[in-house]
Structure 1
């Protein structure tokens, strides 16, 4: 397969939208951590402490997710530059790294979503139907 400029260019909107989604998750979790921290300071509830630990893990995962998405974006840009300079083999290698970075980012997102369900389970633990 011949790598052309249009192939890495297709990643631009996908990566940009992914970064927006990751950033929205990060901001929502950060706000929740601040709110729970205030509640924990006044009540010292164990349940809140557990939730804060889970949210801390989620923030770490989202930060890694964002980092790999950024590497993917930079790889796509570098691939286009290398194609422009007619360094085809190097462009192919960098593009493979870029795609791999996006795959790692998505896997980390899947893990973060699984961790987020644990936080919800902690919240729902004391409600009986």
Structure 2
């Protein structure tokens, strides 16, 4: 393993963290909108959305933590390669990949939950349409 191996992972992890941050910002915006809606209109749909959003916040926190940990381990791997500590570099890089997979797993679960949030909204729209 040489220095370019973990260096290849740097752009991917950076882009992944950017995507996670964007998901978090969208989630924060949704929470603010629900907070405003909740002030004027208390509904079952809003309560279900709040529970969904709370779970998603926890998942995004885990996704970001594992993503940052992966980035740190990847950087340490490069440092260990630079200091000619090949075995430790390989272990660090392997851990970096493992933690990155954990982060992606949490991301996949968060995506599944976010589709549930959309289903909640659709159910409410369909209910309102039937009431008309």
TM-score by length of 2: 0.92
Between structures 1 and 2, the one with greater helix share: 2
Equivalents in 2 of 1:87, 1:38: separation in Å?
Answer: 55
User: Which runs of no fewer than 5 residues in structure 1 stay unpaired?
Assistant: none
| 1:49 CA displacement | 1.2
More deviation, 107-116/118-127: 118-127
Q: Is the 8 Å Cα contact of residues 33 and 52 (structure 1) preserved in structure 2?
A: yes
| 1:127 CA displacement | 3.1
Q: Is the 8 Å Cα contact of residues 45 and 124 (structure 2) preserved in structure 1?
A: no
| 1:105 CA displacement | 0.5
Q: Which residue number in structure 2 is paired with residue 33 of structure 1?
A: 31
User: Which runs of no fewer than 5 residues in structure 2 stay unpaired?
Assistant: none
TM-score by length of 1: 0.95
Two-structure CA RMSD over aligned residues (Å): 1.1
Partner of residue 67 from structure 1, selected from 46, 65, 68: 65
Q: Which residue number in structure 2 is paired with residue 126 of structure 1?
A: 124
The answer to whether residue 4 in structure 2 is matched with residue 6 in structure 1 is yes
Q: Which residue number in structure 2 is paired with residue 49 of structure 1?
A: 47
